[in-house]
Structure 1
Amino acid sequence: MARPETTPAFFARLFGEGESRELALDQLGQALDDEALLWVDLLDPPVAVLDAVWEHCGFPEEARRFIEEGTMPAAGQDGDHFWVRCVVIDKDGQEDAQGTLLICVAGRNRALSLRRRAIPFLEAMRDDEHRRVALGRLCAESFVATLLDRQLSTYFNAVSSYEMAVERLEVDILGDKASGCLPELRRLRRWASRLRRMLAPHRSVFGVMARPDFRPDESQPADRHFVALDTRFERAMDMVENARELVIGSFELFSNQTALRTNDSMRLLTFVTVVTGVLATIVGALGMNFAAGFFETRDAGFWTVLGGLVIAAVVSMVVGKRRGWF
């Protein structure tokens, strides 16, 4: 996916007491102090930009290798720094959920976010003037926790879209479009399975971050944020598991509606068979070899019998329909 022209590859903002300002790449080295929070956001950056950020911010080389190696969710730490790799859902609804990697690296009063494709909530954070003062009061750990909380929110949003799609499908199943719902059932089943495959590997990430030994020297608020993230992750997993159950319920509804329509068809066929059998009995009786005067009426008798058969069939259908026999 091509990078949007309006979103630069490099973005940095320094959050101070009651104010914030955007920084250029060569200003990162002078911006680091204990009284402000530096946030660097990179969108599919060139290698030269990564090298400059690492040089100015002092992030460890192990974190750099973490960025370049691996695609599965994971977390690690080294001294005052820690890093996290997670998957954000950046497209859902019309097609199966699609995700992109988000990597966060944090140190003392500095935080980095890196992604290969645009992520809507990060674009919003870049431009959100009203929240800049609040973000400036966070430490780097709490800032990363904020990003990860929004990352989990993308799964909640995807499940909401999924539930609406299931509701639309069930309306179609109960209506006149049930016969064409099987492809949509298959798509929703793939969608639910993909959501689970994308979210389940994060158990090791949030579980590790919630452990007391992950950041033992940091403040209690940061620890509470990490524990809250683990709890929110479990809630997201429950919602994704429930989404899988929803599509199973929809399939059962589809099966029941199909069975009902089949029963209706069989009842109609049975009734038609009975009526046809009665008419055949009458025709068979008329074909007996007796010299009755009725058989000498020639064309008039033939058309009288044929009309009587039609009337008998119509009357039978009307009576059967009114009494609900088919």
Structure 2
Amino acid sequence: MGIVAFLFRENGLERNFQWQGRLPDLTEHELLWLDVQDEDHVALNALITALPVGDRGRSALRQEEPGLRHWGDHVRVRVDAPVPVPDGKFQVVPVQILAARNLVVTFHDAPAPFLEELVERLHEDSKMGELDSAAFLAVMLNFHLESFYALLSPLEDAIDELDDRVLRHLDRDDLRRLVGLRQRVSDVRRLLGSHRLVYAGLASPDFTVFQGDQPELLLTRLFKQYEHAYDAIAHTRDMILGSFDLYMTSTGQRTNEIMRVLTLATLVLGMLAVVTGVFGTNFENVHIFKSGDAGFRDMLLASGVLALGTVGLARWRRWL
């Protein structure tokens, strides 16, 4: 899709700015954000030659895992953006971020939702030109952390729905659903955990984005926001464990109800067995005892029907 350029001036966003293949002369209160989305890396290769970051900075744009690299005049951050998919899970889109004085460059192969949300916010906020690249990087990464909360919201809704279902009508598939929800939460926690060194490095008291920059207060707050997001994931995991306890309690209650029914049935059949055992059933002049092979066959059929009926009743009552 090429390069989309956003030029922020002190008085707001320049909406008609077009990228011409070279960096413009930027003043102190101007900020240029170049967003590159290109699956074939054609646009990136055309851009990196114009970046004032040297060969090391250009090679850093191809970092293979989340991380943070810092040079005196610029910083490179690689994060993984979660993208929700219809089946309730998510895909990962790598996003490379390079920040230098008055310049921020992002590169990704596919759409990144947190960048799209940032673009929407930019059109509403006319004061972004007052931020330098360090503060803008902090704002961008804050949107990245917020994208994890977007993953947790449908998970929590699914947990609440499952709890309601368990309380109303226990189903044998509920345990499978619990396992699936726990796996999804584990995937989110694992993805966020892979960024710990990134946000810890940004929160370092002596960290600066470009040469001569003062440590940004917004960057130091990012690690606390990261920990809050991680705590939110842990809370969602605790909700699943609570749902499992509720499931086990409901299963125990259902088992008690089944055992109560079976105990009553055993008591009734036991009393009948005592009576028939005392008196016997081979009474004289009862034709059923003189039916020969046909009677034996009917007895086997009746026994089979009784057994199948018992199993069918148990499945209908969800005892099995």
Would you say same fold, with TM above 0.5? yes
1:35, 1:154 → 2: CA distance?
Answer: 29
Q: Is the 2:69–2:76 contact (alpha carbons within 8 Å) kept by the matching residues of 1? A: yes
Which of 214, 223, 235 is the equivalent residue of 1:219? 214
Which of 60, 64, 70 is the equivalent residue of 1:66? 60
Describe the superposition over 1:165-194 as per-residue Cα deviations: whole angstroms up to 9, x where unpaired. 111111111122432212211111110110
Which of 7, 13, 17 is the equivalent residue of 1:23? 17
Question: Map of 1:125-164 to 2, 5 A cutoff?
Answer: 125-128=118-121, 130-164=123-157
Secondary structure in 2 aligned to 1:219? coil
Which residue of structure 2 lines up, in the alignment, with residue 248 of structure 1?
Answer: 241
Which residue of structure 2 lines up, in the alignment, with residue 53 of structure 1?
Answer: 47
2:285, 2:187 → 1: CA distance?
Answer: 77
2:203 paired with 1:202: no
2:280, 2:40 → 1: CA distance?
Answer: 95
2:61, 2:255 → 1: CA distance?
Answer: 57
1:48, 1:92 → 2: CA distance?
Answer: 27
Q: Is the 1:82–1:107 contact (alpha carbons within 8 Å) kept by the matching residues of 2? A: yes
1:288, 1:51 → 2: CA distance?
Answer: 96
Which residue of structure 1 lines up, in the alignment, with residue 94 of structure 2?
Answer: 101
Shift of 1:92: 5.6
Which residue of structure 2 lines up, in the alignment, with residue 312 of structure 1?
Answer: none
Shift of 1:258: 1.3
Which residue of structure 2 lines up, in the alignment, with residue 309 of structure 1?
Answer: none
Percent identical residues: 29
Which residue of structure 2 lines up, in the alignment, with residue 308 of structure 1?
Answer: none
When the two structures are superposed, what TM-score results if normalisation uses the length of structure 2?
0.80
Secondary structure in 2 aligned to 1:133? coil
Secondary structure in 1 aligned to 2:99? strand
Secondary structure in 1 aligned to 2:15? strand
Shift of 1:45: 5.3
1:24, 1:130 → 2: CA distance?
Answer: 16
Which of 252, 267, 270 is the equivalent residue of 2:263? 270
Q: Is the 1:14–1:22 contact (alpha carbons within 8 Å) kept by the matching residues of 2? A: no
Shift of 1:198: 0.1
Q: Which amino acid aligns with 1:63?
A: G
Shift of 1:23: 3.5
Which residue of structure 2 lines up, in the alignment, with residue 122 of structure 1?
Answer: 115
2:156, 2:124 → 1: CA distance?
Answer: 31
Rate the CA distance shift 1:288–1:104 in 2: closer, same or farther, 3 A. Answer: closer
Shift of 1:101: 1.4
Describe the superposition over 1:221-248 as per-residue Cα deviations: whole angstroms up to 9, x where unpaired. xx21011111000111111122222222
Which residue of structure 1 lines up, in the alignment, with residue 176 of structure 2?
Answer: 183
Unaligned regions of 5+ residues in structure 1, if any? 1-7, 290-294, 300-326
Which residue of structure 2 lines up, in the alignment, with residue 231 of structure 1?
Answer: 224
When the two structures are superposed, what TM-score results if normalisation uses the length of structure 1?
0.79
Q: Which amino acid aligns with 2:17?
A: L
1:229, 1:92 → 2: CA distance?
Answer: 27
2:26, 2:118 → 1: CA distance?
Answer: 21
Shift of 1:93: 7.1
1:92, 1:285 → 2: CA distance?
Answer: 70
RMSD: 2.4
Rate the CA distance shift 1:237–1:288 in 2: closer, same or farther, 3 A. Answer: closer
Q: Is the 1:39–1:112 contact (alpha carbons within 8 Å) kept by the matching residues of 2? A: yes
Shift of 1:13: 1.4
Secondary structure in 2 aligned to 1:87? strand
Which residue of structure 2 lines up, in the alignment, with residue 4 of structure 1?
Answer: none
Secondary structure in 1 aligned to 2:70? strand
Secondary structure in 2 aligned to 1:26? coil
Deviation larger for 179-188 or 21-30: 21-30
Which residue of structure 2 lines up, in the alignment, with residue 313 of structure 1?
Answer: none
Q: Is the 1:13–1:21 contact (alpha carbons within 8 Å) kept by the matching residues of 2? A: yes
